[in-house]
Amino acid sequence: MAPARISRQAVLACGLVLAVVVAPVAAAPVATGSGGAVATISAQASQSALAILNQGGNAIDAAVAAAATLGVTDPFSCGIGGGGFMVIYLARDKRAITIDHRETAPRKAGPHLFQPDGKPLDFETAVASGLSVGVPGTVRGWHEALERYGSMRFAQVLAPAIAVADKGFIVNANFSQLVGQNEKKFRQFAPTSELYLHQGKALPAGALLRNPGMARAYREIAQGGVKAFYEGPIARAIVDSVNRPPVAKGVRVPAGAMTMADLADYEARIRPALRSSYRGYELLGMPLPSSGGPTVAHALNILEGFDLAAMPRAEAEHLYIEASRLAFADRNAYLADPEFVDAPLAGLLSKKYAAERRALIDPRKAAPGEVAAGDPYRYQNDPSVPLRAQPGGAVKLGPESAHTTHLTVSDKEGNVVSYTFTIESWGGSGIVVPGYGFLLNNELTDFDFAAPHPNVPEAGKRPRSSMAPTIALKDGKPAFSIGSPGGSTIITTVLQTIVNHVDFGMPMDQALDAPRISQRNAVDTSVEPGFADTAQARALSGFGQRWETPAEEIGAANALVFNPDGTVTAVSEGKRHGVGTALVQRRGH
């Protein structure tokens, strides 16, 4: 795998020349300094954020600039055809808020959306269709972030991304590989094939990829603001693409039923950050409809009763696996959009409930398989909930895409953004909006296909997510931020990285780089390639832990660490999803 490199052309495209960290293979890119900092999975996106910070923008402005550029350079993971969750810490006011711009189901959607003939659609058929597309929330989320907490407007923050889309970028091996994995899906849609395939095959590494359609979309948003996306020609093109998918000759896929009113009526939600605590840290996470924040908090509450730092490593990791198993059992049974389901969140986050769940863990032996959800209602203390849900055993985890992106940014004033956004599967629905160059999401496949379940489709409902952008405070000040892509493995990636950093004392780059272990209430635990043959795996097997096959890469995290001397350290991936980029405004010595 090649080292992270940033071309001179990419730097000039952002109008900025600065010192760049070049990371060796298998070493996390790390940069420490003062002023602002950014970590993303894309060199161009990180450069865009730094350009905005150097122009006087704040962390919110820079986060939107980075996200817009990721929509060009990492289009199979994210973009304006999707949605996301942003956690913001405002230093001057010492407060945290979140912006929920998750996609919503169109008003014609119902619980049997993916059961047109009474039987659930094949998952892959559902993905590559207009039926899977939720009302995109990303542009509305960016608008709310800039209007409420930013200092710049769309015209400024979208300029770097427009430059990258216009001038193009060199396709790397990772990008080409992702297209190759999606050739079958992309061939079904004419504008997608035209953009990302050459003679029906993936664009090769080394090719220059320009996206004038996406540049056009960004220009219209820069000029017309949020209404250009939700009420103008872009909106009409989205609706037409959903209801009459632009398929290749001879191809048929299920159509959706989205209206212009669905787009015009879309609203982001400004929600209080979900607050929890762990070993002296206050964690600011994403509340429902993301299950990420609640499930990370629940698992950490369970783990807090064990002195992990004093234990042999294998014993501590065994407990991490089992705590995650229990937390996912509750997550799968209860959590969904809070505007449709009165989830027992207070009970789930109760330290007393965590103690009850902790007592189920055998410190010497893994659970034999799936475990049942507990009863958090006894800890709910909420007279508005007269009845308890009865899940009746383990609730299985439905299919969930592992393909998202996360970025994190801070500025010289101490504001911090932790932001995860997505279009769901690699390449989303596979539908590129004609003339505008962006892929539409397949987010509605994050609903459970079969009722009854808290997470079934309903008109206007937001599908449950696992995204877990997190900011940790210590003594009232930011200590670190962390987040990752990875579908339901987002939760375990964030959880494991926190345990590595806080309990095992690993520097953040080592905490990020460590082999990932993901238990989500299944018989076998997901691990990365090569792990099952290690001494670490053999030690865990002694506790009865079993490994899922085939092994797959888990997550692509980015983090910031706020050091006691006032400097900040940005950390990105050294080997997963290519190699990430970590930049600071002024390098330390």
Nearest partner of 570 among 561, 579, 420, judged by Cα? 561
Which pLDDT does position 528 carry in this prediction?
96
In a domain, 72, yes or no: yes
d(Cα 256, Cα 452) in Å, to the nearest integer? 22
Which pLDDT does position 448 carry in this prediction?
86
Q: Provide the pLDDT confidence category of residue 578 given band limits of 50, 70 and 90.
A: confident
* Mean pLDDT computed over 329-355: 95
Which pLDDT does position 28 carry in this prediction?
74
Assign 535 to helix, strand or coil: helix
Return the number of other C-beta atoms located less than 10 Å from residue 220's C-beta: 17
Nearest partner of 130 among 147, 108, 150, 152, judged by Cα? 108
Alpha-carbon Rg for the chain, nearest whole angstrom, is: 22
Residue 8 pLDDT > 50:
no
Burial of 270: CB neighbours in 10 Å, binned 0-12, 13-18, 19+: middle
More confident position, 434 or 455: 434
Residue 18 pLDDT > 60:
no
In a domain, 311, yes or no: no
The partner residues of 283 in beta bridges, in order of sequence, read 276, 472
More confident position, 470 or 172: 470
Percent of the chain with pLDDT over 70: 91
Sign for the CA dihedral angle at 46, 52, 57, 60 comes to negative
Q: pLDDT tens digit string along 506-547?
A: 999 999 999 999 999 999 999 999 999 999 999 999 999 999
Provide the CA 63 distance to its chain's centre, in angstroms: 14
In a domain, 542, yes or no: yes
Tell me the whole-structure pTM to 2 decimals. Answer: 0.92
Specify the residue for token string 């895409």: 401
Total tally of structural domains belonging to the chain: 1
Residue 209 pLDDT > 80:
yes
Largest pairwise CA distance in the chain? 65
Please report, for the domain that includes residue 491, its CATH number: 3.60.20.40
Q: How many CA atoms lie within 13 A of 505 on its CB side?
A: 5
In a domain, 241, yes or no: yes
Pair 160, 214: CB distance under 8 Å: no
Sign for the CA dihedral angle at 470, 474, 478, 481 comes to negative
In a domain, 308, yes or no: no
DSSP string, 347-387: HHT-HHHHHHHHTT-BTTB--SS------GGGGT--TT--S
Which pLDDT does position 575 carry in this prediction?
85
d(Cα 388, Cα 71) in Å, to the nearest integer? 43
At residue 465, what are phi and psi to the nearest 5 degrees? Answer: -120, 165
Tell me which of 73, 138, 295, 404 is the catalytic residue.
404
More confident position, 381 or 586: 586
Percent of the chain with pLDDT over 90: 82
d(Cα 119, Cα 513) in Å, to the nearest integer? 42
Of 4-13, 268-277, 345-354, 399-408, give the lowest mean pLDDT range: 4-13
Q: pLDDT tens digit string along 41-68?
A: 999 999 999 999 999 999 999 999 999 9
Q: pLDDT tens digit string along 466-513?
A: 999 999 999 999 999 999 998 899 999 999 999 999 999 999 999 999
d(Cα 20, Cα 583) in Å, to the nearest integer? 7
d(Cα 484, Cα 499) in Å, to the nearest integer? 15
Which pLDDT does position 12 carry in this prediction?
28
* Mean pLDDT computed over 386-396: 51
Which pLDDT does position 174 carry in this prediction?
85
Angle at the Cα of 329 from the Cα atoms of 379 and 429, rounded to 5 degrees: 125
In a domain, 340, yes or no: no
Pair 297, 340: CB distance under 8 Å: no
Which pLDDT does position 382 carry in this prediction?
64
* Mean pLDDT computed over 1-20: 30
Which pLDDT does position 453 carry in this prediction?
84
Q: How many CA atoms lie within 13 A of 106 on its CB side?
A: 22
More confident position, 333 or 15: 333
Which pLDDT does position 499 carry in this prediction?
98
Angle at the Cα of 138 from the Cα atoms of 137 and 143, rounded to 5 degrees: 100
Which pLDDT does position 389 carry in this prediction?
53
* Mean pLDDT computed over 270-290: 98
Which pLDDT does position 404 carry in this prediction?
74
d(Cα 575, Cα 321) in Å, to the nearest integer? 23
Specify the residue for token string 């490199």: 5
d(Cα 98, Cα 287) in Å, to the nearest integer? 8
- Average per-residue pLDDT in the chain? 91
At residue 179, what are phi and psi to the nearest 5 degrees? Answer: -65, -45
Q: pLDDT tens digit string along 117-133?
A: 888 889 999 999 999 99
* Mean pLDDT computed over 210-231: 98
Residue 347 pLDDT > 50:
yes
Q: Provide the pLDDT confidence category of residue 388 given band limits of 50, 70 and 90.
A: low
Q: No. of H helices and E strands in the chain?
A: 21, 19
Domain limits for position 126: 8-269+400-587
Nearest partner of 465 among 552, 509, 404, 384, judged by Cα? 404
Q: In Å, how far are 24, 113, 164, 346 from 121, measured between CA atoms? A: 45, 9, 38, 35
Provide the CA 66 distance to its chain's centre, in angstroms: 14
In a domain, 312, yes or no: no
Assign 238 to helix, strand or coil: helix
Nearest partner of 294 among 417, 467, 456, judged by Cα? 467
Q: pLDDT tens digit string along 291-340?
A: 999 999 999 999 999 999 999 999 999 999 999 999 999 999 999 999 99
Pair 554, 335: CB distance under 8 Å: no
Q: Provide the pLDDT confidence category of residue 393 given band limits of 50, 70 and 90.
A: low
In a domain, 318, yes or no: no
d(Cα 89, Cα 478) in Å, to the nearest integer? 8
Q: Provide the pLDDT confidence category of residue 17 given band limits of 50, 70 and 90.
A: very low
Annotation says 32 is catalytic: no
Assign 474 to helix, strand or coil: strand
Specify the residue for token string 């000029």: 223
